[in-house]
Structure 1
Amino acid sequence: MLSTTENYNTITPESLSQEMTTVKKSTPCTATTSVILLPMTAVQNIRYDRKSLARSNWLTFPKGLHTSGYKPKSGHIPMDWKMYIHPEGAVYYVNTSSKMPVITDTPVDNPAALKKLEQGIRVVWASMVESQMAVISNAELYIYAEPDADKCKYYMVDHDSQTEFWLEDAEMSSLHMSPVSSNTHLKYILQEHYWAHVEYFPHRPVPIYVRIELIDILRHAATDHMTSDSSTFPYDAEQCTKFAALVDSKNTESTTYMTCLIARIFVMITRHKYDHFYGEECARLSRDQSVYEWPEVKPTFAMRLCSALLFNLPKAMRRELELLYVDKIAYTTHWRAFMCTTKKGWQENIMMCTGLLVTNATLMGFAKYAAFTSSGLASMLLSLGGLLSGCTLLHVYGYADRVNAGIMTVYLRDVGNNKSGFEPVAAVFTLPKALALWSILFLFTDILTLFLAVPTFLNMIALGLISILVVASFVMMVAVLRRPSVDLMI
C-alpha cells in the first residue's frame, strides 16, 4: 500500500520514478496516513444519489457583486484546480497540471477531503510507475475520495479509443458488469462507460468527426425504423430525426451543453451495440430474433383450460407480450404502442358490455318464461363482469403507456417470471373481451327462448356455471394484479 502526505501540485508520474525504491522499502502505512485505491466504473458514479442539504440565509453582498468589473477573492479552490458546472447544475473539478488530467467531484475546497484525494492520486501515479504503464497522451483520471472511509475509487478513460481502463486486471463481476461473449463484445460496455464519463464531465469539446458519425448513425436508424417494423434501435424514426437536428456538426468548438447532449445519446447507442452483439457472429438483426437458448415455457393444464374458456384469446396476447420482451430486452416505443392499442380495446369492450347490459335489461322486461329470465341474468352477469374487469384494468394500467424503460422492464420481468410465462397476465388482459363474447352468446340464447321453450333447470345450471366462471375470472385477475410491479403502472 502506497501513501503520501506531500501536496499533489508537485506530483507527476515522472517525479516518482526516482522514489520507488524508497517507497517499496517503507514500513506499512497507518490508517491515518494511507488510502486504499479501488477500481470503479463511470456508471457507478453516485452523483444522483449523493445527498447534500441546502442552507439558506440573508447575506450582505459587496458592492458590484457579479458585475464584469468585480474581482472575487480567490483561495477557496486549491491551486491548479478549476471548477466546472455541469449543465444539470452539479459541480466538479479538473486539474491539468500534470500530463494526465485529473477529474473529481470530491469537494476540493474541503481540506480533509483534498488531503485524502491527494493521497489517492499519489497512489495512482506510484502504481503507474510500478506497473511500467506508459502515460496515454489523451487520457483522463477520475478519482473520488470516500467521505467516511480511507478509500479512493478511480478509473481512467482514453479519449482517442473511447474506452475505460484501470491500472490492474479487473474482474467484470466485481465491477458489476454484464457478461460478454468476447473481448470485442466487452469493448461496447467500456465504450458505454466512456460516454457516461463524458456526459457527467462535459468540459471537453467533442470532435467534429464524432458528431458527424452520430448524425449518420441517427439517420440510418431513422431509415431502418421507417422501412422495417423490427428495427433493434432503441429510438423510433421521429426521435432519431429530432436528435439528429439537435447535434451541431458545423462549429469546431462546442459547449458543455452540446457535449453532454452528444454523450447521452452515445450512451444509449453503445448500450444498443452491446445488447445486440454488434460485430459478433450472433448479432441480433431484428427485435423479434432471439440469440439465446431459453427453456420452453409450457402453460399448465389450468392455464390451457382457462385459455380455452376465453376463446384462446390469451394465446395471441401472450405472443405479443413475448415479442415485446425477446431475450429480456424491451423497447419503450413498442411497449407504448402495445399499451395504447390494448387500452383502446378495453375501452371498446366497456362500451360493448354497457350496451349488452342495457339490451338484456330491456329484453327482460318482455320475459314470459323463467328460462328466458335465467339466460338473461347469465348474459347480464357476464357483461357486468366484462364491464368491471375493463374498468379495473384501465384504472390499474392508466399510465402504462407513458412509463419509462426502467419501469417497463421491471414490470415485464416480474409478470413473466413464472412457470407459465406471460400466460396469466395475457388471460387477464383478454378477460373483458372474452366475457363480452360469452355475454353475446347468452344474449343469443335469450332471443331463442322467445321462440323456443327451454327447460328451466338447464338454464339454472348454465347460470350457476356462469357465476362460477365470472368469480374465478376475478380471482385470477386479483392474483395477477397484486404483483408489486403493477403498482408502477398506476
Structure 2
Amino acid sequence: MDTQTLDIPIPKNETEDVMNEGSLRPITSHSTKRYENRTLVETFAMEISPGLFTTSQEPEPEYLAPLWSAHVHPEGQLYFFREGPLRVVTEAYLYHVETFETVCGWIARIEHLLADMKILISEDIELFVEFKGQDCAYYFVDHATSAQFWLEKSDTEKLDLPYVASTSQLKIVIEELYWVHVEHFPMHLHALPIQKLEEIIMIFSHGLCDQMTSRVSTFNYSASDCKVFLDLLRGCRDSMNNGHTTWIIARLWSIIDHNKCLTFYGQEHSRLSRNQYVLWDPEQKHRWVSMIMAYSTFNTSERHRARLDDVFVDHMVYVDRWAQLVSDCLKQWKASKSGAFAGLALHIPFLVLNSPWPPLLIVSSALLSSTLGSSILLDHAYEPMESLSATDAMNYLESIQSSIFNFQCTAFAFSLPKALLLWGYLILLVNYLLLVTNYRGSGMAAGVAGLALLVVLVLYGTTSTTFRASWSNGMSLFCRGSNVSSIQIV
C-alpha cells in the first residue's frame, strides 16, 4: 500500500463519534501489551469422561463467529485472526462474548474510517487491535511492502521510536516493526517468500566471515552464534509452510533491521567498526583526573577506562564484548585476591624478626587486606553481570556513567584491587629492605634494591609497548646518527 495515505487526516466527525465511547490511538508492534500480562490463571479440578480426546469422542470446540479462527503462537500465546476484506489479528480473548462484541464494534468503526478516507484495502493489508478499557490501540501492516502504517500523521517521538537520520533509515525502522508483527502472529500466515530466507542466510554468512576476519565487526552475533543460526536457517528451506519457520525468519529479520538502525546502514555516515563514534563526541573530559588516577594506580585505571569507553561506543553494547570485559575483570580480581593472600603470608617473618619500622608494616598489611576486601566485593557485585543481555548491560552502563567524569570513577574502582596490591607489595619491599639493612648492612640492602629495580625495568621493557616504541625510536636515531658520522669520516 502506498504510504502516502498515512498523511490523510481522520475526519473530525468520525473522531468525535469514536471519542464518545473511547479513543482510537496508534501504537507500534514494539509497544503492545503482549509481554505485560500479569493476570493470574485460575485452575480447578475437571472431570475426565471415558474416551475423552479419542477420535470417537472429541470435546466440543469453543464457538467463534464465521471468518474468525484461533491460533497459538510457538511461545504459547493464543491469538485470533479474521479472514475477510480487512484481515484482522488480536490477542483479545474472543471466547468472551462481551470482548468479541467490543472487538467487532471497533473493527466496524475502523472500516468506516477507511471508507470515508477512500483508502483501498488489499488482501496484503492486516489490522492489529488491542484494548485497554474503552480505548482501542491499533496499527496496520502491509505484507507486500513489509511496512507498518497508521491512519493519521504521527512522528517517531510520539510512537516511541528511535530518532533517525533520513527517510531511508525510517524505512528500516518501519520494516523492523513489520517483522516484529510477523514474529508475534506467524501461525495464520502463508509461507514467506523463499527470497527472504535466502537473503538472511547470506546476511549471516557475511556476518560469520566478518566476525572471523575482524576484531571490530559491527555484526551483532559472534562467529560461533552465526554458525548455529546458519545451520538453523538452512534447515528451514524444506518447511517454509510451517508457522514456526515463519517465526524464526521474522525474529532474525527484526534483529537484523534493528542492528542496521544502530549502525546507520546505508546512511552518509555509517558505522563501519564497533569502536567508531557517529553520534557522540568521544573527547575525554577532565584529563587531569585520569592522569592522577593513572599514576596512583600504575596506569591500571586508564586501561579499564579505555575498555569501558570501547564497550559503550555511542551508548551501544555488544553482548560478547561486555561478557569479555566482565570476564577479564573477574580474572584480574581473582589474581589480585591470590596475590593479597601471598603478600600477607610474606609478613610472617616479621612476626619472628622485629620490624625496623612497624608503621610501614601496618601500612603494607592494610593495603593487602584492602586488596582482598575490594576483590571480594567487586567479584560479588559483577559475577552475575557476566551473563547480562545487551539491553541490560546498556542500561547498567548508562546508570553508572557520570555526566562529568564519564567512566573515570568506575575505572578507578575496577583498578583498586590491583593498585592496592602493587602498593602493598611496594611497601612490603621497603620493609624487607629495612630489615636487610638492619641485619646485613646498607650495602646488601642497596644490592637487593638494585636487583629488584633491574627486574622491574626488564619486565616493564618486555611488556610495555610504549617503552619498546621509545626504545626502538631511540635506537633508530642512534643508528642514523652513526651512519651519517661514518659517511662524513669517509
Asked whether 1:123 is paired with 2:109, we answer yes
Counterpart of 2:343 (choices 347, 353, 356) is 356
Q: CA deviation at 1:367?
A: 2.5
Alignment partner for residue 372 of structure 2, among 387, 398, 403?
Answer: 387
Q: Is 2:156–2:163's contact at 8 Å kept on the other side of the alignment?
A: yes
Among candidates 156, 167, 177, match of residue 172 of structure 1: 156
Matched residues, number: 426
- The residue type paired with residue 84 of structure 1 is H
8 Å Cα contact 2:355-2:361 kept in structure 1: no
Q: Which residue of 1 aligns with 2:192?
A: 206
Q: Secondary structure at the match of 2:81?
A: strand
Structure 1's 24 and 45: CA in aligned 2 closer, same or farther, altered over 3 A?
Answer: closer
1:265-276 aligned within 5 A: 265-276=252-263
Q: Residue 362 of structure 2 aligns to which amino acid in structure 1? A: L
Residue 413 of structure 2 is matched in structure 1 by 428
Report what 1:60 is aligned to: 47
Shift of 1:135: 1.7
Determine the C-alpha separation between the residues in 1 that align with 2:15 and 2:417. 76
Residue type at the aligned position of 2:106:
G
Q: Contact between 1:299 and 1:423, CA under 8 Å: does it hold in 2? A: no
Instruction: Give the 5 Å matches for 1:135-146.
Output: 135-146=121-132
Supply the distance in 2 between the matched residues of 1:326 and 1:95 (Cα, whole angstroms): 45
Q: Given the alignment, which residue of 149, 164, 170 partners 1:186?
A: 170
The 3-state SS of whatever aligns with 1:53 is: coil
Aligned to 1:256: 243
TM-score, normalised via structure 1 length: 0.82
In proportion to residue count, which structure has more helix?
A: 2
Equivalent in the alignment of 2:396: 411
CA separation in 1, counterparts of 2:265 and 2:239? 30
Quote the offset at 1:162 in angstroms: 1.2
Q: Do the aligned residues in 2 keep the contact of 1:106 with 1:145 (CA within 8 Å)? A: yes
The structure 1 residue matched to 2:272, chosen from 281, 285, 297, is: 285
Following superposition of structure 1 onto structure 2, how do residues 296-375 of structure 1 map, counting pairs within 5 Å? 296-299=283-286, 304-367=291-354, 369=356, 371=357, 373-375=358-360
Give me the identity figure in percent: 28
For residue 167 of structure 1, give the secondary structure of its aligned residue in structure 2: coil
More displaced stretch, 310-319 vs 247-256? 247-256
In 2: Cα distance, 1:283 partner to 1:402 partner? 29
> Within 2, Cα distance between the matches of 1:185 and 1:42?
18
Q: Which residue number corresponds to residue 12 of structure 1?
A: none
Q: Secondary structure at the match of 1:44?
A: coil
3-state secondary structure, aligned to 2:270: coil
Instruction: Structure 2: state its 5+ residue gaps.
Output: 1-10, 440-490
Query: 1-side partners of 2:419 and 2:257: how far apart?
Result: 43
Gaps of 5+ in 1: 1-22, 455-490
Report the equivalent of 1:104.
90
- Alignment check: 8 A CA contact 2:317 2:390 kept: yes
The question of whether the paired residues in 1 share the 8 Å contact of 2:355 and 2:431 is answered with no
Cα shift at 1:237: 0.7
In structure 1, the residue matched to 2:180 is 196
Which residue pairs with 2:138 in the alignment?
A: 154
Distance 1:418 1:271 in 2: 27
Deviation string 1:347-367 (CA, Å, 9 cap, x unpaired) is 111111111110122244223
CA distance in 2, matches of 1:174, 1:254: 37
1:237 maps to: 223
Question: Partner letter of residue 375 of structure 1?
Answer: L
Residues 1:48 and 2:35 aligned together: yes
